[in-house]
A and B are shown apart, each in its own frame.
Chain A
């Protein structure tokens, strides 16, 4: 870390400089002036404790030492909640698959209306009814309890004849629809 060009920040509780300065100190990235300005804070007991933790983290990450006590537990807990940053990115919405059926249920009415609207254009084709509820239990292939869904295998088998590229399952949205009486 190179913090030597920045003014020394104070922690919100005024107990001492911020965490980045401990890191800069640990990395030997401070010049003499900065070290002098921090002298009182460096000698404080709390700084010594945080310094030891930095040393332990460095050793543990390199595999040079196996710290005792609850340090490793606490470190792993902290690491577990830290995001893995691969590249700077904006926050993203949760993956669609997790809320799949919720989203599908919310759009039932709109889609059913769309289908019905298509009927007069092609009397030989569209035969779905307005009622959003299904006629029976949901097919096993499309229930959220099935885990690895059957439809993914249908899509994979279909790709034998199409483009040989299998679409990831989360790309599909499903909606219960009703068939007209004549087609049940």
Chain B
């Protein structure tokens, strides 16, 4: 009897850790993505990276086909991100002066998954890895295991009732955490209207024509944005392209360079961010992303001037 019970337990565990079939994994992805945009919620979460911890407040409510959200960094310099449908701005204040800057993306924790999240099932295997409790809510652990070396893994814990991600851990190829979000408390339900967007000081324009070609992209990646934008303390505008598989993002910055520069590799101390700057014809190209080094390297080394 005891042996049968042990076998049954083992079978349950094995079943829980086996990758979900593709369609089931896709359904989980889509449900989690929709919950983070279509639900109204408000809460405080903690972001930890190594020995650094940051506390943030987030509020979200559905609006038409989109969302309205507000993200406030509660430590250090006053900084806030407000998103409304496809528009987004950041506010930075030193106490006396508040600067507004237009942003291009509208996603932030817990809204980490793209609108068409089901498509990620091609690049990630999903595993249900047990139950947990986060921010006072029972949650289901869902692991996104990358199928190749071009993206990081994610370990999510999503609210059992709504599938809202309550915790997200970005892990490297060894399963070691590199960054972690977790709600300390969250209220899921109706909310007051977020503050309206303010006019942005920075303008971002679509690029008229490409000056370089990208000869090789990692599987599943495509260009999702291309714009010209001014950057602080820099004359003129830089060209900013973004490549993504929907979850991982890599930016390419291009600016004219009068004389060839040496190639420089950069990596964050904990390895989550990687960067490569190099000369491409008459341009200095900088590829940077929250992606494994092979992803950044593959994009950067495949650039050629048109």
List, in ascending order, chain A residues with CB within 8 A of B262's CB.
133-139, 176, 178
A174 to chain B: closest residue by CB: B266
Interface locus among B15-23, B24-32, B129-137, B285-293: B285-293
Q: Is the CB of B231 within 8 A of A134?
A: no
List, in ascending order, chain B residues with CB within 8 A of A115's CB.
265, 297
Q: B116 within 8 Å of A by Cβ? A: no
Say yes or no: A155-B105 contact (C-beta < 8 A), given A128-B297, A150-B233, A173-B266. no
Q: Is the CB of A165 within 8 A of B54?
A: yes
A residues 143-184 with Cβ under 8 Å of B? 148, 150-151, 153-155, 157-158, 160-165, 167-168, 171-179, 183-184
Q: B103 within 8 Å of A by Cβ? A: yes
List, in ascending order, chain A residues with CB within 8 A of B56's CB.
165
Q: Is the CB of A150 within 8 A of B234?
A: yes
Q: Is the CB of A161 within 8 A of B261?
A: no
Say yes or no: A158-B259 contact (C-beta < 8 A), given A124-B298, A153-B234, A171-B268. no
B residues 252-306 with Cβ under 8 Å of A? 253, 257, 259-270, 273, 275-279, 284, 286, 288-290, 293-294, 297-298, 301-302
Q: Is the CB of A137 within 8 A of B297?
A: no
Say yes or no: A158-B251 contact (C-beta < 8 A), given A142-B277, A164-B105. yes
Q: Is the CB of A150 within 8 A of B231?
A: yes
Q: B249 within 8 Å of A by Cβ? A: yes
Q: Is the CB of B301 within 8 A of A142?
A: no
How many residues on the A side are at the interface (Cβ–Cβ under 8 A)? 47
B71 → chain A closest CB, angstroms: 6
A136 → chain B closest CB, angstroms: 4
Q: B53 within 8 Å of A by Cβ? A: no
Q: B232 within 8 Å of A by Cβ? A: yes
List, in ascending order, chain A residues with CB within 8 A of B302's CB.
124-125
Q: A77 within 8 Å of B by Cβ? A: no
Q: B88 within 8 Å of A by Cβ? A: yes
B249 → chain A closest CB, angstroms: 4
Q: Is the CB of B244 within 8 A of A138?
A: no
Q: A122 within 8 Å of B by Cβ? A: yes
Q: B74 within 8 Å of A by Cβ? A: no
Q: B47 within 8 Å of A by Cβ? A: yes
Say yes or no: A128-B47 contact (C-beta < 8 A), given A157-B231, A161-B251. no
B residues 60-111 with Cβ under 8 Å of A? 71, 73, 81, 88, 90, 103-105, 107-109
Complex Cα–Cα for A162 and B107 (A): 7
Q: Is the CB of B275 within 8 A of A111?
A: no
- A/B interface sample: 16 pairs, CB < 8 A: A111-B265, A128-B263, A135-B262, A135-B279, A137-B261, A138-B261, A150-B231, A151-B275, A151-B286, A153-B234, A158-B242, A158-B251, A158-B288, A158-B289, A164-B105, A165-B73
